[in-house]
Amino acid sequence: MSFKQSKLETFFGKTTRSREDSEEPTQPSLSEAPLTSILTNTPSTSSSSVISLPFHHQEDPIKFIDRTLSENERKQILEHKWEPDNKFEYPVNDKGRRYNLKWEEKRPWLRYSPSNDSVFCACCIAFPVAVSETHPEFVTIGFRDWKNATGDKRGALEKHSKSERHQLSQEKSEMFLMTVKGKSIPVTESISKAYQEKVQRNRACLMSIIDVVIRLGHRNIAFRGNWLKDEGKEDGNFQYFIDWKANFDDVLKLHLSTAQHKYLSPKVQNEFIHLCELEIRDAIRDRCGESEFFSVMVDETTDVAEKAQLSICVRYVSKERDRYEVNEDFLGFVEVERTDAETLCDAVLHNLGQEWGFDLTKLRGQGYDGCATMTGAISGVQKRIQDVWPEAKYFVHCNSHRLNLVIVNTCNKVVEAS
C-alpha cells in the first residue's frame, strides 16, 4: 500500500521533509503548489461536491461512491489507490492545512481523491454497513477537515478506524479479498474477529451478572425489591450489588451504560436462578452417583399460595479425601396436583429418575413423616415405591417428625403446658 521510498523522497523536497515527519501538516508555501490555486477555490463547506479537475484516474475513490459495486470494482478500490506523481502538491484548504501522505502508513484503508481533495475509506466504500447512512464521512462524503484528522481526542481518522461500522467493513473486505484470491477459509473459522470479540465481551458480562446471583444465593439474601418507576429499575439487593460491582468491573460498567438489553429484569433473574438450580442438582447427582446406595426423603408441604408441593432430598455417603461423610442434600420442590399416594409416588420416581437422572437401582432407603399416605403398608408411597424398586425396602419414619410427635404428645399431657 505504501509508496516506494524513492518516490517519496523525490516527491517531498527538503523543506517538506520535516512536514512529512509530523502528523500535523503545517502551511506550505503557496508557490510550491501549482494546483493549489485551482483547488483552494473550492468552498470547504461543500465537502461532497465533486470538482471537475484534470484527474481521470481509475483509482480516484470518487468513482466508487454512492452505488453498488461489482466484484471487480470492489477488488480495485481495495487493492489500488491513486498515487501522486513527483510534481504533485496536496492543496491547502482555507484553514491553511493539507493532506499528509504519512497518515496512510498506519491506515492502509485511506484513499485520497485528487479530484475532490478529500479522503475516503476503501473498506467502507467496498462494503458499506447500514449505519454509514447516518455517518457518511469517509463513505459517501470525503473527509477533508485536516486540522482534526489526527490526535487522540479529536482525530477523525482514529475515530473512524475504531468505529464498529468500519471494523465490520474491514472484516468483510479482508474476507472478500481472501475469497477472490482463492484463499478462503472454512466457514467455521471465518466468523469475524469482531464478532468473536463481541461474543467474548457478552460472555464476560453475563459471568459478571451471574456472579452476583451466586453470591446472593450463597448468603441466602433475597433478590427482590421495589420497582422504581422513575429510574426504570428495581431497588432490590440484586440491583444494589450489580451497581456496586460496576464501580470496579469495567466490563459490567460498559454493559450497563451502553447495552440495550441489560439482562437484569426479574424474569432474567429467575432464569439465572433456575440455571444455578440445574447446575447444583447435577453436581449433587454426580456426587451421589459415586456412592453405592442412597435414600430418598420426601415431605409434603403447602406453600403460601396454597399449592401442594413435595420437597425431595437425598441421603448418601460420600468419600472426602480419607473420610466418609453422610450427606443430606435438598434437590428441589415439586408441585403436585393431588396429594394421594399414587400421585405422590409417581412424582417422586418421575422427578428423581427421569427428570434429574438419579440411578434408581441404587435406591435403598425411604424416609417420610408418619401419615398413612406416605407410610401406609398396603398402598402408601413407601409400599408403592418398593413395588417398583424392591431393594428400596428400608423405611425410616423420619426422626425429626417423631421428635415433634413426642414433644407435642408430652406437652399435651402436661396440664400447665397445654
Binding site for Zn ion (CB under 5 A): 121, 123-124, 166
> To the nearest whole angstrom, how small is the minimum distance from the Cβ of residue 3 to Zn ion?
21
> To the nearest whole angstrom, how small is the minimum distance from the Cβ of residue 210 to Zn ion?
36
Report the candidate in 377, 303, 304 with the shortest Cα–Cα distance to residue 333.
303
DSSP class of residue 352 equals I
Using Cβ positions, the residue closest to Zn ion within the complex turns out to be 121
**Residues 157, 112 contacting (CB under 8 angstroms):** no
155 or 353: CB nearest Zn ion:
155
> To the nearest whole angstrom, how small is the minimum distance from the Cβ of residue 126 to Zn ion?
9
168 or 296: CB nearest Zn ion:
168
List residues bridging with 319 in a β-sheet: 324
123 or 345: CB nearest Zn ion:
123
> To the nearest whole angstrom, how small is the minimum distance from the Cβ of residue 33 to Zn ion?
28
Dig out the grid coordinates for 374 from the structure.
406416605
> To the nearest whole angstrom, how small is the minimum distance from the Cβ of residue 163 to Zn ion?
7
122 or 256: CB nearest Zn ion:
122
36 or 169: CB nearest Zn ion:
169
CA 242 vs. chain centroid, Å, equals 16
* Integer Cα distance of 282 and 356 in angstroms: 7
168 or 341: CB nearest Zn ion:
168
For cell 439474601, name the residue: 221
* Integer Cα distance of 384 and 370 in angstroms: 16
DSSP letter for each residue of 133-167: GT--BTTTB-B--GGGSSSTTT-HHHHHHHSHHHH
> Within 13 Å of residue 259, how many CA atoms lie on the same side as its CB?
15
Look at strands 225-228 and 233-236 and give their pairing.
Answer: antiparallel
Query: What's the one-letter identity of residue 228?
Result: L
Dig out the grid coordinates for 248 from the structure.
470496579
124 or 347: CB nearest Zn ion:
124
For cell 421428635, name the residue: 403
> To the nearest whole angstrom, how small is the minimum distance from the Cβ of residue 109 to Zn ion?
6
> To the nearest whole angstrom, how small is the minimum distance from the Cβ of residue 167 to Zn ion?
8
Other Cβ atoms closer than 10 A to 217? 15
- Please list, in sequence order, all residues whose beta carbon lies within 8 angstroms of the beta carbon of residue 413, skipping any fewer than 6 positions away: none
Other Cβ atoms closer than 10 A to 295? 19
Over the Cα atoms of the chain, what is R_g? 37
List residues bridging with 309 in a β-sheet: 301, 335
128 or 236: CB nearest Zn ion:
128
* Integer Cα distance of 195 and 202 in angstroms: 11
> To the nearest whole angstrom, how small is the minimum distance from the Cβ of residue 122 to Zn ion?
8
CA 140 vs. chain centroid, Å, equals 32
77 or 310: CB nearest Zn ion:
77
| Cβ neighbourhood burial of 389 (10 Å; 0-12, 13-18, 19+) | middle
> To the nearest whole angstrom, how small is the minimum distance from the Cβ of residue 59 to Zn ion?
17
| Cβ neighbourhood burial of 238 (10 Å; 0-12, 13-18, 19+) | buried
77 or 121: CB nearest Zn ion:
121
> To the nearest whole angstrom, how small is the minimum distance from the Cβ of residue 132 to Zn ion?
8
> To the nearest whole angstrom, how small is the minimum distance from the Cβ of residue 119 to Zn ion?
11
17 or 198: CB nearest Zn ion:
198
Dig out the grid coordinates for 102 from the structure.
504519512
